Amino acid sequence: MTGTSPGTPGRWLAVLVVLAVIAGVVAGLWLFSTLT
């Protein structure tokens, strides 16, 4: 995955995926502490 292939999202999407996972975990922790 060099991120240069036309038609394929670049490496920036892999970074966004990692950030989305972290955001999801934080959201889960927050939701749990808020609702319980």
Partner 1 sequence: MAIDFGQQRRWSYVDVVLYLVGVAGLAASITLLFLGMRAVLDIGGFCAEGGPYQIQTHCPDGVALLMPLAVFGGFGAAGLMAWKGAALGSVYAGLVFLAWPALFLSLGWNFLEYAFSPPPGMSGIQLGWLIPGILFVIMGAVPLLSALPIGRALRRPAAGSATARAHTTAEQPWPEESNLRKARKRLLNDLVAHAQAEATSDARPAGAAMPAADSDLVSRLERLDALHRSGALTYDEFQRAKAALLAGEGG
**Which parts of this chain interact with partner 1 (CB under 8 A)?**
1, 5-9, 13, 16-17, 20-25, 27-29, 31-32, 35-36
Tell me the closest approach of the beta carbon of residue 21 to partner 1, in angstroms: 5
Tell me the closest approach of the beta carbon of residue 6 to partner 1, in angstroms: 7
Residue 14 CA: distances (Å) to CA of 10, 11, 19, 35:
8, 5, 9, 31
Ordered alpha helix ranges (H), the chain: 11-35
Tell me the closest approach of the beta carbon of residue 14 to partner 1, in angstroms: 9
